[in-house]
Amino acid sequence: MKKFSVVIAGGGSTFTPGIVMMMLDNMDRFPMRELVLYDNDEERQAQLGEALEILLKEQAPDLKFSYTTNPKVAFTNKDFCMAHIRVGKYEMREKDEKVPLRHGVVGQETCGPGGIAYGMRSITGMLEIIDYMEKYSPNCWMLNYSNPAAIVAEACRVLRPDSKVLNICDMPVGTLRRMSQIIEKDPADLEVRYFGLNHFGWWTSIKDKEGHEYIDQIRDYVAENGYLTKVEVDTQHMDQSWQETHKKAKDLLAVNPSYLPNTYLKYYLYPDYEVAHSNVEYTRANEVMNGREKEVFTAARNIIEKGTAVDGGFHIDSHASFIVDLARAIAFNTHERMLMIVENNGAIANFPDDAMVEVPCIVGNDGPEPLAQGKIPPFEQAMMFQQVTVEKLVVEAYIEGSYQKLWQALTLSKTVPSAKVAKDVLDDLIEVNREYWPELR
């Protein structure tokens, strides 16, 4: 079997050790000859890089491994780039969440004004790494799961239409694992129908390979419990705030009991509830900084001090194996069925062709082929049209340096009550993002 050369962009991410260990665990399905970590933060990269070097010497001595902040070294001779960057890191995520909350508006990293602010930062970072990839390895594919994926995907559509960038999200994967737990099935045996935007969609069918439909059974469970399951099925979305989110799916389902909702819809359907149940002094960014970030970097320090990764505290992120499934689909033309963020082009019949939507696709070595989901009802269509217009306005505002369009984007977001509040939030976001956003006029 061919062996691949891979770069992870955002090599200093809290997710890097778990993903590297997951890839090691999948070497029989996706063999690697070289793995390089790339980040633009030298100190952060060195901490995880040094610890992973020790781990890989012990667990995969034949794999050529390095870490770097040099784009030429990182991106030369690569087959795949796994991208998970966070422009501005947790310091800026905290501001994305707290600035809107101070105005009584949802403070979330990918939804509402926080997602818009993060999007305006991410576009620059994403274009930078796409351009490095194309310069040093023109045949390389980027598997991108950097957020906010909806805005990033729209920016790629407009600004890098021919680039080999695939945008994918782990949230539907995690929720499907919960659904499979509810019906006591293996998630690999389930096929779904789904339509929406990223962090904004609905499942319309959950069938096994024999064609048996489970949506009613899952709906009855979710109507009582949300997606909270008795057994822990997801290694990522487990913190207390996520448990609340899984539970809240019950109230999302109540709005339209025909479909199973993506959990992120809570920020659009119940923004007042979310604000009332947020603590502006301690948001999800603080929870992650005191949790996942601290744990990962403490584990790295311990491995480096001890000189061994045995019992070292890095844990395999098995839920991230969808990334290997995607790489395999491209590399080995597996025609795997996966939810991807792609240009609509008729997949949702009554939605604009040029919208970036999230739908099931068959993925082979030419990339994803979207599966037709038919017409969607007016309620979901209208919600999606409002939200996709927000995302398009953000990208236009970025390109044109337009204050007006960014103000319109915030005003149109279902999470923001008025143009006045939108302007107040925007002006504060501009202030804290000066280092990252293009200048707006």
Give the footprint of ligand LMR on this chain (CB under 6 A): 236-237, 284, 288
Q: Which two tokens stand for residue 71?
A: 């784009």
Q: Is 9 in the site for ligand NAD (CB under 6 A)?
A: yes
Which residue in 264, 267, 268, 398 is the catalytic one?
264
Could you confirm whether 145 is annotated as catalytic?
Answer: no
DSSP assignment of 139-157: TPEEEE--SSHHHHHHHHH
Q: Is 141 in the site for ligand NAD (CB under 6 A)?
A: no
Residues 168-197 that bind ligand NAD (CB under 6 A): 169-170
Could you confirm whether 270 is annotated as catalytic?
Answer: no
Asked if 335 and 363 count as a contact pair (C-beta separation under 8 A), the reply is yes
312 binds, among ligand LMR, ligand NAD, none (CB under 5 to 8 A by kind): none
Nearest residue to 414 (alpha-carbon basis) of 392, 440, 382: 382
Asked if 333 and 366 count as a contact pair (C-beta separation under 8 A), the reply is no
284 binds, among ligand LMR, ligand NAD, none (CB under 5 to 8 A by kind): ligand LMR
The SS3 call for residue 26 is coil
Which range of residues in 57-65, 85-93, 179-187, 209-217 is near ligand NAD by CB under 6 A?
Answer: 85-93
Asked if 49 and 11 count as a contact pair (C-beta separation under 8 A), the reply is yes
Number of amino acids touching ligand NAD (CB under 6 A): 25
| CB neighbour class for 328 (10 Å; exposed up to 12, middle 13-18, buried from 19) | middle
Q: Which two tokens stand for residue 378?
A: 């007016």
Q: How far is CA 387 from CA 49, 204, 218, 326, in A?
A: 39, 20, 27, 27
| Binds ligand NAD (CB under 6 A): choice among 8, 46, 85, 376 | 85
Phi first, then psi: what are they for 192, rounded to 5°?
Answer: -115, 160
Which range of residues in 10-18, 279-287, 309-317, 328-336 is near ligand NAD by CB under 6 A?
Answer: 10-18
Which range of residues in 78-86, 94-102, 186-194, 209-217 is near ligand NAD by CB under 6 A?
Answer: 78-86
Q: Is 108 in the site for ligand NAD (CB under 6 A)?
A: no
Which range of residues in 34-42, 307-315, 367-375, 408-416 is near ligand NAD by CB under 6 A?
Answer: 34-42
Known binding residues = 93, 147, 169, 199, 284
State the residue for tokens 């795997």.
Answer: 336
Nearest residue to 106 (alpha-carbon basis) of 302, 334, 271: 271
Which residue in 39, 170, 234, 325 is the catalytic one?
170
Nearer to ligand NAD, 39 or 97 (CB): 39
Q: Is 20 in the site for ligand NAD (CB under 6 A)?
A: no
The SS3 call for residue 206 is strand
Known binding residues for substrate = 93, 147, 284
Preceding peptide of 148 cis, ω within 30°: yes
Residues that bind ligand NAD (CB under 6 A): 9-10, 12-15, 39-41, 44, 84-87, 89-90, 125, 128-129, 145-147, 149, 169-170
**Residue positions annotated with a catalytic role:** 170, 264
